[in-house]
Amino acid sequence: MAVHSKKVIVHGGGSDSVYGLGMIGAWVYYMGRATTPRLKLLGFFKGLVWPALLVYEMLKFFNEESPVLPRLVPTQPAPAVQQAQTQASKPSVAPKARSARKSARGGKSKTKKAARK
């Protein structure tokens, strides 16, 4: 009785190289900006756990309220804006024509019959 042993070959490990390159990049980033030995040591440890820091900051960013969202909700316009909108919608020709007629008559608002008397 011959016992056949099977070899198990595991392929993959691509994520290990990505993590390794990310760790080296994080070390270059954090240690390059460090000005004291204490900050360099902190940069070393941050380089080891950079994926956790990345996920934490990403979740914190997505959890914050966006300043754009309140603007999307329809609200009542401010009184000054509402007044400007109503003035813009009124025709500006009619008041000017009325004031021109008044000045032609000498500013009097009497009718022709009242002017004859």
Q: Which residue has the higher pLDDT, 106 or 36?
A: 36
Task: Indicate the domain borders of the chain.
Answer: 35-64
The angle subtended at Cα 28 by Cα 14 and Cα 20, nearest 5°, is 15
Residues 6 or more apart in contact with residue 82 via CB below 8 angstroms: 76
Asked if 30 and 10 count as a contact pair (C-beta separation under 8 A), the reply is no
Please give the structure tokens belonging to residue 64: 């914050």
Q: How far apart are CA 49 and CA 61, in angstroms?
A: 19
Query: Model-level pTM?
Result: 0.41
Q: How far apart are CA 37 and CA 43, in angstroms?
A: 10
Exposure string of 22-58, with b = 16+ CB inside 10 Å and e = fewer, is ebeebbeebbeeeeeeeeeeebeebbeebeeeeeeee
pLDDT recorded at residue 97: 53
Query: pLDDT tens digits, residue range 65-99?
Result: 666 555 555 566 666 666 666 666 665 555 555 55
